[in-house]
């Protein structure tokens, strides 16, 4: 099985090391000092004080590797959009494209049924660029739970969790998603296959739509955001709006899951949200796939999102002031 991990940062690096050490034919796309470090000393993964090293073929040019069985995209959503034209050399007739990314994926309305079937999303894929260049028929959904961090070029630290939830856009249990799950399980990951991956995508997004912007605006850690009464109230208001939006799209998540989501987040003591990490390190902020997209869905379904609208306006301006964000679109 040939697997290319496109974006060997925190999550991509974690996946690449474990898959390679499990015996799979893995290559990675990286760039800059991270790429040089991987080439010189291998990709290094630190877990519980121990270090694993995988010597993995690495390049910044996808043409170096050719068609793969699976391409795992572990980029931020805005980076994936910018890199859309780089993926085709990795895509053969049967290559599957795994979106191991936070937020709503660009293929969301492929095989979804309903009135929005086949519609592209301006917040994450303006002009349907990825839809056209990659093809939604290749897509496999992947909800990322692990918390990882790139602590130095070529060095990844894993902090919490090891589950990657997989699912086909058409809700089938296909041979390819089964094969992917088996490969990931062989590498030590939890890789459940869900028939209804959009449900899992929304459950994760419930947290990201509020935790990330609040962290970026306040610099608070996750346990503080979910315990301080005022911040927790903002989280609940945003989650309730997100729940109304996903219900309008046919995804019904029980209300009690909100409390579970908050408590699970609170248990991760001292965790710094990814958007805040990016702000502190001067990297572009992943706002559109986590927050703007919910506003877009709200407009589409005529569901009001006042709390999310305020969080979005504030975090966009904070990111603009830091010169770390350019909107991909303007939601009408």
Per-residue pLDDT of the chain (332 residues; tens, 9 = 90+): 999 999 999 999 999 999 999 999 999 999 999 999 999 999 999 999 899 999 999 999 999 999 999 999 999 999 999 999 999 999 999 999 999 999 999 999 999 999 999 999 999 999 999 999 999 999 999 999 998 989 999 999 998 899 999 999 999 999 999 999 999 999 999 999 999 999 999 999 999 999 999 999 999 999 999 999 999 999 999 999 999 999 999 999 998 998 898 998 888 888 889 899 999 999 999 999 999 999 999 999 999 999 999 999 999 999 999 999 987 666 65
Containing 309, the helix (H) or strand (E) segment is: helix 306-321
Q: Give the CA radius of gyration of the chain.
A: 19
108 located within any domain? yes
Q: Residue 184's pLDDT is what?
A: 98
What secondary structure does DSSP assign to 154-211, as a single string? TEEEEEE--BEEEE-TT----HHHHHHHHHHHHTT-B--B-S-HHHHHHHHHHHHHHH
Residues 25 and 144 in one domain: yes
Q: What are phi and psi of 203, to 5 degrees?
A: -60, -45
* Cα 95 to Cα 67: distance, rounded to the nearest angstrom: 7
229 located within any domain? yes
171 located within any domain? yes
Helix/strand/coil percentages in the chain, nearest 5 = 45, 20, 35
Q: Which of 148, 164, 195 marks a domain boundary?
A: 195
Q: Which residue has the tokens 């940062």?
A: 9
What secondary structure does DSSP assign to 229-252, as a single string? HHHHHHHHHHHHHHHHHHHHTT--
| Summary count for the chain: helices (H), strands (E) | 12, 11
As given in the structure block, the two tokens for residue 191 are: 């890789």
Q: Which of 157, 177, 195 marks a domain boundary?
A: 195
* Cα 295 to Cα 259: distance, rounded to the nearest angstrom: 23
User: Can you say whether the dihedral through the CA atoms of 316, 320, 322, 323 is positive or negative?
Assistant: positive
Please give the distance of CA 291 from its chain centroid, rounded to a whole number. 13
329 located within any domain? no
In the sheet that 155-160 helps form, which strands lie side by side, from edge to edge? 50-54, 43-47, 155-160, 147-152
Give the burial class of 84: count Cβ atoms within 10 A of its Cβ; 0-12 exposed, 13-18 middle, 19 or more buried: middle
Catalytic machinery residues: 204
Residues 188 and 221 in one domain: no
Query: From start to end of the chain, where are the E strands?
Result: 2-6, 25-29, 43-47, 50-54, 58-59, 68-73, 91-100, 139-144, 147-152, 155-160, 164-167
Residue 219: which CATH number?
1.10.1040.10
Q: Which of 138, 161, 195 marks a domain boundary?
A: 195
Residues 226 and 90 in one domain: no
- Structural domain count, the chain: 2
- The answer to whether residues 276 and 216 touch, using CB atoms and an 8 Å cutoff, is yes
Residues 66 and 93 in one domain: yes
Residues 189 and 237 in one domain: no
Residues 41 and 158 in one domain: yes
Q: Which domain holds residue 227?
A: 198-321
Residues 101 and 221 in one domain: no
Closest to 140 in 3D by CA, of 177, 173, 103: 177
């Amino acid at each position: 099985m040939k697997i290319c991990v496109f974006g060997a940062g925190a999550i991509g690096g974690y996946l690449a090391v474990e898959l390679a050490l499990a015996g799979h034919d893995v290559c990675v796309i990286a760039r800059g000092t991270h790429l040089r470090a991987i080439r010189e000393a291998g990709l290094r993964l630190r877990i519980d004080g121990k270090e694993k090293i995988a010597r993995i073929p690495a390049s910044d040019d996808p043409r170096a590797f050719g068609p793969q069985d699976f391409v795992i995209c572990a980029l931020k959503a805005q980076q994936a959009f910018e890199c859309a034209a780089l993926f085709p050399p990795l895509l053969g007739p049967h290559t599957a494209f795994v979106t191991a990314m936070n937020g709503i994926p660009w293929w969301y309305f492929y095989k979804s049924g309903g009135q929005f079937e086949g519609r592209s999303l301006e917040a994450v894929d303006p002009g349907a660029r990825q839809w056209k260049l990659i093809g939604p028929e290749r897509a496999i959904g992947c909800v990322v739970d692990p918390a990882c961090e790139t602590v130095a070029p070529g060095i990844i630290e894993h902090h919490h969790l090891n589950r990657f939830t997989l699912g086909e856009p058409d809700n089938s249990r296909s041979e390819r998603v089964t094969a992917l799950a088996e490969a990931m399980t062989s590498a030590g990951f939890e890789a459940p296959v869900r028939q209804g991956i959009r449900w899992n995508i929304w459950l994760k997004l419930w947290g990201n739509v509020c935790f990330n912007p609040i962290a970026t605006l306040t610099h608070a850690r996750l346990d503080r955001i979910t315990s301080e009464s005022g911040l927790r109230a903002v989280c609940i208001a945003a989650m309730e709006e997100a729940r109304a939006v996903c219900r309008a799209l046919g995804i019904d998540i029980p209300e009690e899951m909100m409390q579970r989501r908050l408590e699970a987040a609170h248990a991760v003591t001292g965790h710094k949200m990814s958007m805040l990490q990016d702000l502190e390190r001067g990297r572009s902020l992943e706002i559109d796939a986590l927050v703007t997209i919910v506003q877009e869905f709200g407009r589409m379904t005529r569901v009001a999102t006042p709390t999310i609208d305020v969080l979005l306006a504030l975090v966009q301006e904070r990111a603009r002031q830091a010169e770390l964000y350019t909107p991909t679109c303007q939601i009408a």
